[in-house]
Amino acid sequence: MGTANIHWETEWPTAQERAQRERKYLLLDFSREH
Amino acid sequence: MDTVTYPQPAVANFITEHFVPIRLLLNRSQDQIHFRTHRVIWTPSIVIADRRGVGHYQSPGYLPPELFLPMLRIGLGRALTAWMRYDEAATHLEAVASDQTSGLAPEALYWLGVAWYLKERRRAPMMRAWNKLRELYPRSVWAARVPPNQENEPEE
């Protein structure tokens, strides 16, 4: 079975940037670096 | 999560299609405000939020792919319901509920009933989902959340 990549954003997007992603919701992954 | 769950194509593709994925790290000082805002006290945790940053669903801890994907659908369904996108919410919740082997099917049925009620403001559609919930998963905590004698209540 293959694998796929997720392109995580690591900076909190500005309100304008978030508005441009119309109708998409935010998936916040709270993690810690290992 | 990065070694097992996220690399699964079904998971990664669903995330790319439906979400803006943002990684927030406890070790990064600029991210800690988000831990406080969303009351996240444990890693890993997932929060599904709208574009204003308002959280609608939280899932603590690790999940394997076979539970992570339905959790995403439930969380998305919750966010869509909050934004009155009831038909889209129902699509995701029904997808989870249709897999009776899934440990998340009872939760999906509960929120499906809520979405149907909020769409039509009638108990009958809600009870279709909730009766199925009580019939199929009588011992689940989600069935216990259904008040008794709902069928006998008059429609408003």
DSSP output for chain A = --------B-SPPPHHHHHHSTTPEEEEEEE---
Distance of residue B134 Cα from the nearest chain A Cα, in angstroms: 31
Structural domain contains residue B102: yes
Chain B hits for A25, Cβ within 8 Å? 18-20, 48-51, 56, 76, 79
For residue range B92-106, list pLDDT tens digits in order: 999 999 999 999 999
Long-range contacts of B56-62 (CB under 8 A, 24+ apart): B56/A25, B56/B82, B62/B1, B62/B5
Q: How many domains does chain B have?
A: 1
**Among B124, B125, B129, B87, CA closest to B108:** B129
Rounding to the nearest 10 degrees, give the CA dihedral for residues B43, B46, B49, B53. 20
pLDDT value at position B156?
60
Structural domain contains residue B51: yes
Q: Which value does ipTM take for this structure?
A: 0.92
For residue range A1-34, list pLDDT tens digits in order: 466 789 999 888 887 777 777 678 999 999 998 6
Tell me if the pTM is above 0.95. Answer: no
Structural domain contains residue B94: yes
Which of A1-5, B112-116, B137-141 is the least confident region? A1-5
pLDDT value at position A17?
78
Residues B112-130, mean pLDDT to the nearest whole number: 97
Which residues from B are below 8 Å from A when comparing CB atoms?
1, 6-9, 11-13, 15-16, 18-28, 30-31, 34-35, 38, 40, 43-53, 55-56, 72, 76, 79
Q: If you measure CA to CA, which chain B residue comes closest to A13?
A: B22
Structural domain contains residue B2: no
CATH number, domain containing residue B117: 1.25.40
**Among B82, B80, B70, CA closest to B109:** B70
pLDDT value at position B132?
97
Structural domain contains residue B3: no
Domain containing B57: what range? 9-146
**Among B74, B138, B128, B139, CA closest to B104:** B74
pLDDT value at position B6?
92
pLDDT value at position A2?
64
The burial of B34, by beta-carbon neighbours within 10 Å (0-12 exposed, 13-18 middle, 19 or more buried), is given as buried
Q: Does pLDDT of B155 surpass 90?
A: no
Q: Greater confidence, B3 or B106?
A: B106
